[in-house]
């Protein structure tokens, strides 16, 4: 598997570009992505399912930059969306609405109506009320909407509780114990076609065993539904495979996982869909930042940088770990410190009590594995402008999102 970031003679590169040169020209903080790594990881899914009917739908919520979406669309990707805004992005990026799956627990009337008129592939429905609304809107337009019910298979994803979605107490999906009755009632509604079953039990799974357990339960459900006359044609197994955020974490083997999935679905005559997001873009991205100050309070060391929780909220929100590397290997050893940003919150940290390079003011660092849920969750808190985004392609790079300006912060406001 292609590794997009590596040291060459003590200098950190992304593909063929020295990261410090990007930082000097584009300023910091900035997000830097490797085009080759994104395509490499997308193709690992697509090629792993070669020979069986399938579609890999990239989960737009992980990173929705138009250039990345366009690159994936040209590679043949479909798209998994969770809002009308994400659908708008996919279309602007040249995506095919016929390859779009609309997921999400709270779709609005306006979003559903727009998706129907654009002719998306299908809806993953999460309640009977949503099914009834889609039926009504599709009938009014004289269309037939393809739908799958998102099933909650009551499988523990063994991940962070904020990103676990497959247990009974979660807001997502329909309880597997109740879903057959829902399918039978929905079969009587006009304007919809009950084509599929869907599940997504959570993300950042380093062990694919829960996904295989969920797939087994879903295939048994397909058999029961077909026996009752509901002709299921599609199986959507969501996303969820994780990435190694800690150095030394296990890496899920996509090829091995998909081989086991193929063995499970063999003979079931199903069109298979997957919706990876994090595992496509996370390792392809890094947040580059400059050290502003060094500070010591008592025995506590602080490295204050120009990136913060507004650029990358995962450490503050999930206590998530991201490796932090100097762009030039330090000659001064290491130090145990908190890496913190300028935001006026004690929760504004990128790392706590971490052994890191003994960097000095003016030095550059890279916060790794930041391509997923980094910029996508960025904010303007403390009236901070959001950073620029850079795409590296071989030995060239280009800006794919301009850094916001101070005027961008107040656009739309009135005195």
Residues 263-278: tens digit of each pLDDT:
999 999 999 999 999 9
- Residue 398 known to bind ligand: no
User: Which is catalytic among the residues 14, 125, 199, 344?
Assistant: 344
Least confident of 113-127, 148-162, 169-183, 370-384: 148-162
- Take residue 163 and report the two structure tokens written for it: 């990103």
- 252 labeled binding residue: no
DSSP state of 39: H
What pLDDT, on the 0 to 100 scale, is given for residue 162? Answer: 43
Q: Is 318 annotated as a binding residue?
A: yes
Helix (H) or strand (E) holding 132: helix 128-141
The residue count of the chain comes to 415
Asked, for residue 84, whether it belongs to a domain, the answer is yes
Q: Which domain holds residue 255?
A: 35-279
Would 414 be classed as within a structural domain?
Answer: no
E strand segments, 267-363:
271-274, 285-297, 300-305, 324-326, 334-340, 349-357
Cα-based distances in Å from 191 to 103, 106, 124, 211, 285: 19, 20, 15, 32, 42
**136 DSSP 8-state letter:** H
> Could you tell me which of 143, 242, 224, 139 has the C-alpha nearest to residue 184?
224
Considering Cα of 255, then 124, then 35, then 289, what sign does the dihedral take? negative
One domain for residues 9 and 127:
no
One domain for residues 75 and 216: yes
CB atoms within 10 A of CB 98: 11
Q: How confident is the model at residue 167 (pLDDT cuts 50, 70, 90)?
A: very low
Please check if 345 is assigned to a binding site: yes
At 330, the pLDDT band (50, 70, 90 cuts) reads confident
The CATH number of the domain holding residue 315 is 2.40.37.10
In a shared domain, residues 364 and 393: yes
| CA 382 from centroid of its chain's CA atoms | 26
Q: Residue 166: which pLDDT band, with cuts at 50, 70 and 90?
A: very low
State how many domains the chain has. Answer: 2
Concerning whether 344 is annotated as a catalytic residue, the answer is yes
Q: For residues 53 and 260, what is the distance between their CA atoms, to the nearest angstrom?
A: 16
Q: What is the CATH number of the domain that holds 98?
A: 3.20.20.10
Q: Do both 118 and 225 map to the same domain?
A: yes
Task: Give CA–CA dist 309/301, Å, rounded.
Answer: 19
pTM for the predicted model, two decimal places: 0.94
Residue 100's CB: how many other CB atoms inside 10 A?
24
275: annotated binding-site residue?
yes
């Amino acid at each position: 598997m292609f590794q997009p970031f590596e040291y060459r003679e003590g200098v950190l590169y992304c593909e063929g570009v020295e990261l410090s040169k990007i930082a000097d020209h584009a300023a910091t903080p900035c997000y830097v992505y490797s085009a080759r790594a994104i395509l490499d990881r997308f193709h690992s899914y697509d090629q792993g399912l070669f020979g069986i009917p399938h579609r890999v739908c990239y989960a737009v919520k992980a990173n929705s930059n138009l250039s990345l979406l366009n690159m994936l669309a040209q590679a043949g990707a479909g798209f998994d969306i969770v809002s009308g805004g994400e659908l708008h992005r996919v279309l602007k990026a040249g995506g095919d609405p016929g390859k779009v799956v609309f997921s999400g627990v709270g779709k609005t009337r306006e979003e559903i109506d727009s998706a129907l008129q654009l002719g998306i592939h299908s809806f993953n429905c999460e309640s009977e009320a949503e099914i009834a609304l889609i039926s009504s809107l599709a009938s009014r337009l004289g269309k037939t909407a393809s739908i799958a019910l998102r099933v909650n298979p009551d499988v523990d994803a063994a991940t962070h509780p904020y990103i676990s979605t497959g247990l009974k107490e979660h807001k997502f999906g329909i309880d597997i114990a109740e879903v057959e009755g829902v399918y039978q009632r929905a079969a009587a509604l006009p304007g919809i076609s009950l084509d599929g079953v869907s599940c997504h039990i959570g993300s950042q799974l380093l062990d694919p065993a829960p996904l295989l357990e969920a797939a087994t339960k879903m295939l048994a459900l397909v058999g029961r539904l077909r026996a009752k006359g509901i002709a299921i044609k599609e199986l959507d197994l969501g996303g969820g495979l994780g990435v190694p955020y800690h150095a030394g974490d296990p890496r899920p083997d996509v090829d091995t996982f998909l081989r086991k999935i193929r063995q499970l679905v063999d003979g079931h005559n199903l069109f298979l869909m997957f919706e990876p997001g994090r595992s496509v873009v996370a390792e392809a991205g890094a947040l580059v930042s400059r050290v502003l100050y060094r500070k010591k309070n008592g025995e506590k060391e602080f490295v204050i940088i120009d990136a913060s929780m507004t650029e990358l909220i995962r450490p503050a929100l999930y206590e998530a770990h991201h490796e932090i590397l100097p762009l030039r290997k330090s000659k001064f050893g290491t130090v145990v410190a908190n890496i913190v940003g300028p935001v006026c919150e004690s929760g504004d940290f990128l790392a706590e009590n971490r052994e890191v390079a003994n960097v000095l003011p003016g030095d550059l660092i890279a916060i790794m594995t930041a391509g997923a849920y980094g910029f996508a969750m960025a904010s303007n808190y403390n009236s901070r402008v959001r950073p620029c985004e850079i795409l590296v392609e071989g030995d060239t790079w280009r800006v794919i999102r301009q850094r916001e300006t101070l005027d961008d912060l107040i656009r739309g406001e009135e005195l």
